[in-house]
Amino acid sequence: MLSFELLARIRKELFLTGSALYETVVAIAERVNRKVHVLRLHGQATTILNQTHAIHLQLGQRVAAFAAKPAAGIHPVAPAELTSLQEAIRTASDRIKGHQAALQLVERQIRELKVELAHEDLLTMQRELGLRDAAIERVVVARSAPVIGHPIGEFDLPPTTRIVAVFRGPFLLPLSNTMTLRPDDIVILVGLRHDLLHWLPHFQHPAASKSA
């Protein structure tokens, strides 16, 4: 799953590789209807959370009042009052469970829409990059690859090629010139095709790098 942080990094790095590529990124079409839907879903989620908080607050106040009666020396609690409180707790519990189910549904819809938006943006970006003989490449760092153990700031990448993201397992790592790669890291590069073809072997086995 691509994150919006990753797409933001790609946009930033494309700007650094040249104004033409930057214009490509800013020209990516806005998915207005889906983004509006996402905002509405966020509003629904906020409403559900507020309603759940209100239920907790009301129930807490009622339980506190019930518990305060014996402590204050007020007449013993009648069985009917205890039954009423138990029923209120059951009702509140059912309402909270309903709100939680609704919230999970809204969150799932938000995730699905965001994935669609990210996927569409990436497809558009790849198509536009292809028109400029540029590309986005994903490569898994092989064990004993030449790049392992060297800070990425020391890589002799051409000006038209940039590392825009590094995944380690499920995590998108913060980029820095001092970062060193490990086996099985996933590296996302963007740049001109012929430069990418030259550099991809460096992330693979030493034999592949020497033959490049």
CB 12 within 8 A of CB 179: no
Residues 6 or more apart in contact with residue 70 via CB below 8 angstroms: 76, 77
Mean pLDDT of 199-206: 84
Share of the chain above pLDDT 70, in %: 67
Whether residue 133 has pLDDT greater than 80: no
Tell me whether residue 200 is in a domain. Answer: yes
Tell me whether residue 72 is in a domain. Answer: yes
CB 192 within 8 A of CB 161: yes
Classify residue 166 as exposed, middle or buried by CB count within 10 Å of its CB (0-12, 13-18, 19+). Answer: buried
Return the C-alpha torsion angle 169, 185, 132, 13, nearest 10.
80
pLDDT tier at 23, thresholds 50, 70, 90 = very low
CATH at residue 138:
3.30.70.1450
More confident residue, 10 or 164: 164
Residue 114 and residue 156 in one domain: no
pLDDT in tens, 29-60: 344 556 667 778 888 888 888 898 898 888 88
Residue 166 and residue 100 in one domain: no
- Positive or negative CA dihedral for 185, 188, 193, 198? negative
- What phi and psi values does residue 181 have, to the nearest 5 degrees? -85, 155
Residue 74 and residue 143 in one domain: no
SS3 content of the chain, % helix, strand, coil (to 5): 65, 10, 25
16-26 per-residue burial string, b: 16 or more CB within 10 A, e: under 16? ebeeebbebbe
Residue 87 and residue 122 in one domain: yes
pLDDT tier at 86, thresholds 50, 70, 90 = confident
CATH at residue 75:
1.20.58
Mean pLDDT of 3-12: 58
Q: Pick from 97, 130, 163: which residue ends a domain?
A: 130
Whether residue 131 has pLDDT greater than 60: no
Indicate the average pLDDT of the chain. 75
Tell me whether residue 5 is in a domain. Answer: no
Between CA 106 and CA 187 the distance in angstroms is 32
To 5 degrees, how large is the angle CA 118–CA 18–CA 208?
75
Between CA 109 and CA 115 the distance in angstroms is 10
Mean pLDDT of 98-116: 83
Q: 189 lies in which domain range?
A: 133-211
pLDDT computed for residue 19 by the predictor: 47
Total structural domains within the chain: 2
Mean pLDDT of 130-135: 65
Whether residue 26 has pLDDT greater than 50: no
Give the H/E segment covering residue 129.
helix 79-131
